[in-house]
Structure 1
């Protein structure tokens, strides 16, 4: 995930780093650590010291204009957290300026009211006096933060819409994965519908073992639903992914010992051949990549899934769908990447 900043000279990003965890506190801590490293490097530079230039977390947050990450919910939540952090920092800075503008009597009165409220929350003055000096100092620090926040929020409400928009401006840049998936899915759906629309026999049925056994006992509606969802190029690509690159590492390890698929393709193409696309995870362009692979395999065995794969490879309609899916991938969806 990357934080997008707006330098004075050219837009750029702070960094592109993997998160250390999926919790919001871990994500914020990671960014605090990243910003702290930038601040320390900047402030320890001898040349910048001579020029009396310093960098603060406030200056970084004010230049923070957005976050760039994937579609995961924790990344979206982190973006929201960073946006709230930026606004809180703005309000606190405005509150600090407001305190400096206030007269001494006004400041003393304001802090006196807040301190009285804080002591009451602790359970009267006796309970407050039982706190150590360090604990009281921590409470005072938190109180000052709350005072600044309130003053800053009050000042924020007095600003015009243009100023508020400038403060609140924060973009969320998502990945293009869903655009790729949706456009590919739309093309596949339109292609599947064409068989029935043109009254042409579609690709061979690729039912799993349970459905293949139970097909004879299914009702007409259920049989139609089964046939509509278990055939075609996309289904063949998914089956090929299970056979050639299974997400079960134990099964995949056994297959990797033989490397039959990779060796066959290397011998057939007379060049190095990459592994079959990963179909077991929610990856961008995986079905399109699989459609572009000319799949063949000797001695496919007699398991149901391998029978389906062999039947699909011998079905002209399925191969036609694979060709169309490859064209959709190359001419439409890949342009998003």
Structure 2
């Protein structure tokens, strides 16, 4: 019944209508229902499914050979939305699978904010997993999730390339930390103490000296001490990494960025239009007239030669401009502008 509720909500039924739909179908099939499902129950079932999906994603990634993350964002009425997915090969069926990791609001679309969103999501997923019976039976380290990531799929925007660079740096940091914890068992205590002293001195110097360190709040000092401990562990992890063969290093740090095919058709079309536009000069024929907007038309009429040349350069003409104008007229993105509703009603009639 929980699966039935989830399917109905996924297909667009509101939680308040789930009970009515089930009763209607049951009545048609001659099935008697003796209880009811409230809208609250339907919502809680969906919430439970969200938790189960996080647990599923963590379990799937940790037991796969590697995973690829992908994400995209858009804005609507001034709000930024981010959607995320994870892709992997199921080790049991050897099939490629994709899991949806949710849709969330983001304060902005900067690379740093997007990385923070990924970190928070991975933390939430592992928190849900560790609190489940599956996590109690088989605990998993969230840092291993980053190690498992071997690629990221985004669009070609500069902020996405920077996001991948930041994530790759974080992945390597997590790998060195996990590696460092593993090799610390084989390091002499005196050596660990010496490295800790050296890094502690650097941390105090970076804070502005011993007086500035002592002036830090207890929370800030605790945070920096925690980071210092991680730095010590990563130091030994990096040292162990440097002892690997070049091909082993490449395998450990393997992580690639893939760009989507967005705008490729558009770019090909624009290139073709630019080439086709040379036809008129080559054949010495009169090209289609320019169709500038009202402001550019006024500037072309009243301005000098340089202004008229600028207007011609930025104004379109011919079939591509005609298609643009017809789009604005018959399918305007603003529902209160354009003739799309009258156009639809005319053809329906």
Aligned equivalents of 1:45, 1:79: Cα separation in 2: 31
Counterparts of 1:126-275 in structure 2 under 5 Å?
136-210=221-295, 212=297, 214-215=300-301, 219=305, 226=312, 229-244=315-330, 253=336, 255=337, 260-268=339-347, 270=348
Residues of 2 paired with 1:216 and 1:140: CA distance?
69
Could you say what secondary structure the match of 2:139 adopts?
coil
Counterpart residue number, 1:329: none
Whether the 8 Å CA contact 1:5–1:65 is kept in 2: the answer is: no
User: Which among 185, 192, 213 is matched to residue 100 of structure 1?
Assistant: 185
Which is worse superposed, 28-37 or 236-245? Answer: 236-245
Bigger RCO (CA 8 Å, 6+ sep): 1
Does the Cα contact within 8 Å between 2:331 and 2:340 map onto a contact in 1? no
Q: Which has the larger radius of gyration?
A: 1
Deviation at 1:151, TM superposition (A): 2.2
Alignment check: 8 A CA contact 2:296 2:311 kept: no
Q: What's the CA shift for 1:61?
A: 0.7
The change in CA–CA distance for 1:82 and 1:16 in structure 2 (over 3 A counts) is farther
SS at match of 1:66: strand
Q: Of 28, 31, 34, which aligns to 2:121? A: 34
Q: Is contact 2:144–2:175 with CA below 8 Å preserved after alignment?
A: no
1:191-244 superposed Cα distances (whole Å, 9 cap, x missing partner): 323344345443344233355454597659956983995311111223334445
The answer to whether the 8 Å contact 1:6/1:65 transfers is no
Residue 200 to residue 56, structure 1, CA distance change in 2 (3 Å): same
Structure 2: state its 5+ residue gaps.
1-70, 72-83
Question: Shift in Å at residue 88 of structure 1?
Answer: 0.8
Residues 33 and 114 of structure 1, relative CA distance in 2, 3 Å threshold:
closer
Partner-residue secondary structure (3-state), 2:151: strand
Sort the Cα spacing of 1:113 and 1:201 in 2 relative to 1 into closer, same or farther, 3 A: closer
Structural RMSD (CA): 3.7
Equivalent of residue 110 in structure 1, options 195, 200, 204: 195
Moved more, 199-208 or 162-171: 199-208
Q: TM-score, normalised by structure 1?
A: 0.63
